[in-house]
Amino acid sequence: MKRPLKLLFVLLLSTISYAQNMGLYKELDSQILKEKHYDQLKEFRLDSLKFTLLDLRTKGKEWDRYLLYEEIANEYSTYVFDSAMHYYRKAIDLAYRMNHPRAIAQCQSRFGHLLVSVGYYKEAIDTLNKVNILKLQKEDLQDHFSYKVRAYYDLADYVNDGYYSPVYRVQAEAYVDSVLKHQVPNTVQPLITKGLRFLARWQPDSAAHYYAKAGKMPITLHEQAVIHSCLGYIDITENKIISGKEHLIRSAIVDIKTSTKEAMSLMVLARFLFEQGEVDRAYKYILKAKDDAAFFGSMQRKLQVAEIFPAIEGAKLLLEERKKEKAVRYIWVVSALVLVVFVFLLLVYRQLFNLRKIWMIIKQNNHELKLLNNQLNEANKIKERYIGHFFNTGSLFIHKLHDISVALNKVLVANNPQKLKTVLRNINPKKERDQLFHDFDEVFLKLFPTFINEVDNLVEPDRKYVLKPGQLLNTELRILALIRLGVEDNETMSQALGVSINTIYTYKTKAKNKSALSTDEFFKRLKGVKSV
């Protein structure tokens, strides 16, 4: 009885873990879609720091400028390699100009760490060896030795031979002791370093113990990603598939949230999924890892991705080919069925042909109806805007007439000719017409905000419309606006705009002559300008 219960318990745990992984996949895919948002936040932080840097060019601000250089370099260190190197070099140069030994040592140490992360092992070790460790503070000293640990372990893995690699591992072990000797209490780096030592020795249980312990401390998001990545690698190598995937996914999610482009988690996850036969998901993630490597600009990352990418891409192509072959088999089966059915289709061909003709007519009518619908909607929108606006304008005009009428009555009653002249001077038809045109222009441009740009796109580049200060539209553009609204009669336009029919004709011809398009094509495109 105990054995079936135990088996049921194991199956239940597996089901729960699988469901958790699927949930994490969804979260990872969701975060990938938000990648641009996180990158924009990163760019905003960097732009803010660079903007602050511009204010610190005056003499006496060197130390503040140095700190900003280093902060910008740190931001770029997992984002864009070239930019990180550029700002680290600026920080180091400034530290030398200030003759500040601690700043020189600190910045060279962190620059060495950057070089390690991109696989410039010789340059990294040379840079780290130049650091005057006597000038480093305790926490910087701990981090400095941890950079050397990683440099020699990574170099050993890179060389991967029986002669040099053991020597590099011995050197790395010695620097592990240095990290522990100079460790700062309540910091996570000593635990991560111990985990790395046991990982290099391939003592996975001990390594996992220290990484898990580090994960329970107050740590940064980037440190979370590193710990999850290492635990994922250990679990997958130890054939703990579900937990390994979970750690790698969590690491990749954190990398996306922090805009970390030099990360390995997504690439390792893609490789593992490929080995597990999840080709579609592996292909999606390796493409993302490939884009990240190209964005970061590290040749090492590009080579690491290039090592696995062709295999995954080949498997993806093979999978697609098999899908095509399967589809072809289905097509043959369906074709055979079609041939059988074809005999019956001949009997009803005439009816179907007639139905098809009717269907085509209905489809055409539906298409025309849809176009008419769109035009009606646009016309309704235009009518609503203009009727509402000009109803309001008419009301104001009636109020003005009423005021003038009252004023004239008062003048007549008072028999005051001088007052009559004053009233008549206040009546300004030109001003009223200009206001009418301005109101028309304002409402039209709210309906068609891109109208002027669209018209400029129809004319020659050197003949674009230039408006005077305060103008929304000029007479020529107003005529084109009326044409867009469906008013094409010259007489109607002349009455609306208060100009002669010949003037309307002249302006239309002038507008058309500015364009290289034919007359029909010009006015067709003009009428196609979209409203909001």
What does the alpha-carbon distance between residue 262 and residue 108 come to, in Å, rounded to a whole number?
A: 20
pLDDT in the model for residue 174: 92
Q: Cβ of 302: how many Cβ atoms within 10 Å?
A: 15
In this structure, what token pair is assigned to residue 20? 């958790």
What distance separates the 2 farthest-apart alpha carbons in the chain? 121
Give the residue with greater pLDDT, 415 vs 380. Answer: 415
Length in residues, the chain: 532
Distance CA 251, CA 215 (A): 12
- Mean pLDDT across the chain: 82
Higher pLDDT, 410 or 452: 452
Closest C-alpha to 79, from 402, 301, 387, 369 = 301
Mean pLDDT of 519-528: 85
The model carries a pTM of 0.58
Residue ranges of domains in the chain: 348-427, 428-532
Q: Which of 271, 253, 487, 470 is nearest to 383 (CA)?
A: 487
Q: Identify the band that residue 4 occupies on the pLDDT scale cut at 50, 70 and 90.
A: very low
How far apart, in whole angstroms, are the C-alpha atoms of residue 461 and residue 288?
41
pLDDT at 2: 45
Please list the alpha-helical segments (H only) found in 34-135. 35-54, 62-76, 81-98, 101-117, 121-130
d(CA 331, CA 335): 6
**Phi and psi at residue 226, to the nearest 5°:** -60, -45
pLDDT above 90 as % of the chain? 29
Are 213 and 234 in contact by the 8 Å Cβ rule? The answer is no
In degrees to the nearest 10, what's the CA dihedral of 227, 231, 234, 235? -170
- How many Å apart are CA 39 and CA 43, to the nearest integer? 6
- What is the mean predicted confidence (pLDDT) over 376-397? 55
Tokens at residue 381, please? Answer: 């929108």
- Name 253's Cβ contacts closer than 8 Å, sequence gap at least 6: 24, 27, 28, 31
Token representation of residue 278: 């999840």
| 158-170 pLDDT, tens digit each | 888 889 999 999 9
Q: Is the pLDDT of residue 114 over 70?
A: yes
* Mean pLDDT, residues 499-508 taken together: 85
Structure tokens at 462: 């050197």
**Quick one: which H or E segment has residue 142?**
helix 138-159
> For 216-298, where are the alpha helices, taking DSSP H only?
221-237, 241-257, 265-275, 279-296
Segment 422-450, tens digit of pLDDT: 666 666 777 777 788 888 888 888 888 88
